[in-house]
Structure 1
Amino acid sequence: MAQDVIASFLRTYVLYLIPAVVVLRLLANRFKPGLSKIPGPTIAAYTRLWRLYDVWKGDAHNTAIRLHRKHGPLVRIGPKHISVGDPKAIPVIYGLKSGFTKTAFYPIQCISWNKKPQMNLFSTRDEQFHRDQKRPVANAYSMTSLLELEPAVDSCTDIFISQLGRLADSATPVDLSAWLQYYAFDVVGEFTFSKKLGFLQEGRDVDGMIEAIEGMLVYSSLCGQIPEAHPLLLGNPLFPHLLPSMENWNQVLQFTLKAINSRSSLQRDGELEAGGEGGGKDMLSRWMAIHQADPEKLSTRDVVVHLSTNVFAGSDTTAIALRAVIYFLIRHPEKMAKVRAELDAADREGKLSSPVSYRESITHLPYLGAVLKESMRLHPSVGLILERHVPRSGATICGRHIPGGTIVGINAWVLHRDPHVFPDPDSFIPERWIESPEEKLKEMDQSFFVFGSGSRTCIGKNISLMEMHKIIPQLLRDFEISLHKPQENWHTRNVWFVQQEGLICDLVRRAKLSPSLD
């Protein structure tokens, strides 16, 4: 009898204890010191589930814009998460000596190799590791180094234009969303391995790599909202041992290893031996030379990780920017006409080669440059905040003291729609980058957050800029482009990168212009 009473008491105790603990935890979240008075969605202050749901919907960038327009520069989007919408906070949060560090969101986005997660320049939270890793490879991403491979980019452009010409001649609607990513992928292949990855030639997603990367992005964006779940899911350290075949599922890693083995020999013990011709200008050749000279400076692991990061991140962000440029120009015919007029004038004056070179583009096509910048302003590739931990001592952001340990970050979508910096922020106005006074141009440049800021600025930004300045003028020079169903808008989905679908276009060849005889 006594045992039954005790059992009944324990059941009742547990029945009430668990809800009580949950309620207390929720209340502790809601009334965190220093954060309780920062405005935002009510539920977000209690639980991260609001944020998880918002990201799951795939429209978090527009949610962020609405919240900041309603609440101002600081918005509480989680129990200890603050979205910051003030450009003055960029040096505070991302400055070289700010003391703000990356959060657990980032390590989720790394490969597993040899049964261990391998941190890369993007995913690592260790600033010293980041500096050590970046030092030997950064030169390969400089514009000077990339321009040495411009003929290889031109070869991709030739295939791209040829394939589109074939589709135009048959009056076949073209999915430019896909073809622009095929182009970006093959260019990354040339920069990284001195080989095309086959996307343009075959006109399809080779080995399902685009689909695989999207799956990784979806997982990272969702799991990144509750990163503690990662060790229980794909980050479970037991998985590589229990399921050794896991690494074979990663198409990015497998392609990288295959490309390395085509040029060298990757041994079972992890040693990298030279093979084939040396002295190339692609990244594999450059980094192999460093590795052979000093394996401690750049190990086999380092080479594999840097190369696989290129494959993973090198195409999506550029393709997103390219799609944005084409879409905004189609939707604004008067801007398209100005770009065409500038192109045709430069063509008649013999200032443009075929394909258009990077130097020609930035020298002779200033309005096009403004169009590229305005397109990236209106549609940045990254659609979530770039998270950082506030230092232990706390920090003052937007005039308010934020406690140490709080997660803060800036979303480019919010920053780029600040009406004080960008008047009429929702409108496509390339002229703002040409006609604004010098002080306003400086202010806009300081608020331009497409590639991040500080020491963790996107290392591959020159690859994107080079591609954009080359392929867009060549595409507009060769084709008239219109939406196949102009009554329909494209669709966007935020999976960390804000991807677009629905850029189905009709292409018509343009007549070639003869150089002016004047």
Structure 2
Amino acid sequence: MAILDMSDFISLLGVHRFSVLFAVALVVRVLSRRYWTSIRDIPGPFFASFSSLWRVYHVCKGHTEEEIIKLHREHGDFVRIAENEVSVSHPDAVKQLLHANIAKGTFYSVFSLPDYHYVNQMSELDPTRHIQKTRNLSAGFSLSNIAKSEPYIDTVLKHLQTRLNELSDSGGPVEFQDWFSFFAFDVLGEVTFSKSFGFVRSGVDIRNAIANTGSLVYYISIIGYYVWFHNLTLGNPIFSRLGLQPNSHIFDTCLLAIDSRKKNPEIRHDMMQRWLDVRATHPDRITERDIFGAAVANIGAGAETVSATAQVVIYRLLQCPEYMKRAQDEIDAAQARGELSPLVQYNEAAKLPFLQACLKEAYRFHPAVAHSLPRIAPKGGITIAKRYFPEGVILSVHPWIIHRNPDIFGQDCDSFNPDRWLQGDTKKMDSFLIHWGAGYNQCPGRNLAQFELSKVLTTVLRDYEIEQIDPKKEWRFETRFLAVPYGWPCRIRRRQGVNLI
């Protein structure tokens, strides 16, 4: 048996001391994070109180919305979900946090695309600067400006009808998650750059833009908790110029669209032109970087939210044939009265009360944004539901838990029920719909989303009978930052007497 000499003994002792010191430091760090804080008494998962890995685990697991709903129903209005973050489900939080002009949590910084030099409305944390950006860009997002692009949106809608007619005739499977994304991307091309990207016409995911968007959302939902690391690596301008980020496809898509736009002699007063007009008049208020950042953010965020919501409406109507019949009967009656054009117009679809109720219920039941919306307690702190939180504590509101509150939306809030929006005074429920955010941080593209969803849903329900290929197979979705369903292929066939294209 070898005898341990003195040098080996000293080395072993050094390693042992280092291990002990590391273990002690780790325990001190855990205990200080968990207990050396004003929110130590708020219940929540033990692991979450000292490590962000708890949230990363649930992102990877794919259903953070289920976990947050379960925790609030177990613990009440306040759940500690991080060292310095509390999830708040009390209704007062919507007004006091989301409608107030207080700073957003650093998570939002990761939405600066393609790198941290391009601070858009989504990634701007300061409410004053955010409001200034909104004011500068609002002309492009206004409903009146979007309405001027309706003839061009109609062109995309006509192409979609053509492709769906082909699938109806061939009996091939229809993957609505693809076709609704194709439609939304092409609409964004028309209203932003005066030119469709060509997804619907080609029927394919051009340059894997949609697939890469899914990867980007996954990346964002995790790296948003480590923005410092993101800014050192993939969010760094060096990586942006080299095209090495997961969002490079959006960056490249916008560059190609802008280049094509410069060569287009039929430039309209699209969003880009509206923003350029503001810059020409007020060069001190908006920079070219602001305009490019807004365009990238518009393309990056504006398609999958529309696809998710459109899928919810169709899928839930298929789950309840009575609702499907009511929706199609309403549309058929409007068609018979001559109130629907061959290419459905927005002002026509907006007058269909049951369809609009289904759309609003989709916003409530399955909001596309499936992530907590963090705000930072302001100077002097804030009191919510008689609980005081000092300055600096992150307080977040999750759309899914607010939308599943029985005191607001009724005891059947866990069910898809469009009739809730057709009965009595719905103003209270309207004030708690936060699917597009709320206050100064509302999604700037919400008017466009409502516009295209109304048109495409009315068209699909008017023109086609839809059946799921396997009615027993439930769709799938994972709640990263977004909750976009997939995996429920359908077959369609043209409805007699109503398909006019």
Q: Which TM bucket (shorter chain)?
A: over 0.9
Q: In the alignment, is the contact (CA less than 8 A) between 1:111 and 1:119 conserved in 2?
A: yes
Matches within 5 A, 1:169-318: 169-236=169-236, 239=239, 244-246=242-244, 250-264=248-262, 277=265, 280-318=268-306
Measure, in 2, the Cα distance between the counterparts of 1:219 and 1:213.
10
Measure, in 1, the Cα distance between the counterparts of 2:169 and 2:239.
51
Higher strand proportion, which one?
1
Q: In the alignment, is the contact (CA less than 8 A) between 2:130 and 2:440 conserved in 1?
A: no
Residues 392/290 of structure 1: CA separation in 2 closer, same or farther (3 Å cut): closer
Report the equivalent of 1:399: 386
Q: Greater CA deviation, 277-286 or 461-470?
A: 277-286
Matches within 5 A, 1:128-139: 128-139=128-139
CA positional deviation for 1:126: 2.7
Q: Of 485, 490, 493, which residue of structure 2 is paired with 1:505? A: 490
2:466 paired with 1:481: yes
2:123 paired with 1:112: no
Alignment partner of 2:383: what SS?
strand
Residues 167/245 of structure 1: CA separation in 2 closer, same or farther (3 Å cut): closer
CA positional deviation for 1:309: 1.2
2:416 paired with 1:428: yes
Measure, in 2, the Cα distance between the counterparts of 1:248 and 1:427.
36
CA positional deviation for 1:289: 2.8
Alignment partner of 2:409: what SS?
coil
Q: Of 102, 105, 114, which residue of structure 2 is paired with 1:103? A: 105
Measure, in 2, the Cα distance between the counterparts of 1:514 and 1:50.
51
Q: In the alignment, is the contact (CA less than 8 A) between 2:159 and 2:201 conserved in 1?
A: yes
Amino acid at match of 2:318: I
Q: Of 24, 31, 35, which residue of structure 2 is paired with 1:27? A: 31
Q: How many residues align?
A: 495
Q: Greater CA deviation, 280-289 or 493-502?
A: 280-289
Deviation sequence 1:144-174 (CA, Å, 0-9, x none):
1111111111111111011001011011111
Q: Of 456, 477, 484, which residue of structure 2 is paired with 1:492? A: 477
Report the equivalent of 1:339: 327
Report the equivalent of 1:268: none
Measure, in 2, the Cα distance between the counterparts of 1:259 and 1:244.
19
CA positional deviation for 1:277: 4.4
Q: In the alignment, is the contact (CA less than 8 A) between 2:119 and 2:290 conserved in 1?
A: no
Report the equivalent of 1:86: 90
Measure, in 2, the Cα distance between the counterparts of 1:77 and 1:386.
13
Report the equivalent of 1:267: none
Measure, in 1, the Cα distance between the counterparts of 2:499 and 2:146.
31
- Structure 2: 5+ residue runs without aligned partners? none
Report sequence identity in percent: 33
Residues 249/61 of structure 1: CA separation in 2 closer, same or farther (3 Å cut): closer
CA RMSD of aligned residues (A): 2.2
Measure, in 2, the Cα distance between the counterparts of 1:313 and 1:89.
25
Report the equivalent of 1:465: 450
2:315 paired with 1:327: yes
CA positional deviation for 1:399: 1.9
Deviation sequence 1:218-266 (CA, Å, 0-9, x none):
11101113334323442356645xx7353797121112112222233xx
Measure, in 1, the Cα distance between the counterparts of 2:242 and 2:489.
41
> With structure 2 as the length reference, what TM-score do the two structures score?
0.93
CA positional deviation for 1:360: 1.2
Measure, in 2, the Cα distance between the counterparts of 1:460 and 1:187.
12
Q: Greater CA deviation, 421-430 or 225-234?
A: 225-234
Residues 44/276 of structure 1: CA separation in 2 closer, same or farther (3 Å cut): closer
Deviation sequence 1:374-394 (CA, Å, 0-9, x none):
111111001110111112432
Alignment partner of 1:135: what SS?
helix
Q: Greater CA deviation, 468-477 or 25-34?
A: 25-34
Deviation sequence 1:37-79 (CA, Å, 0-9, x none):
2111222223221111111111101111111111111111112
CA positional deviation for 1:87: 1.9
Residues 467/127 of structure 1: CA separation in 2 closer, same or farther (3 Å cut): same
Residues 401/238 of structure 1: CA separation in 2 closer, same or farther (3 Å cut): same
Q: In the alignment, is the contact (CA less than 8 A) between 1:68 and 1:74 conserved in 2?
A: yes
> With structure 1 as the length reference, what TM-score do the two structures score?
0.90
Residues 278/353 of structure 1: CA separation in 2 closer, same or farther (3 Å cut): closer
Residues 477/399 of structure 1: CA separation in 2 closer, same or farther (3 Å cut): same
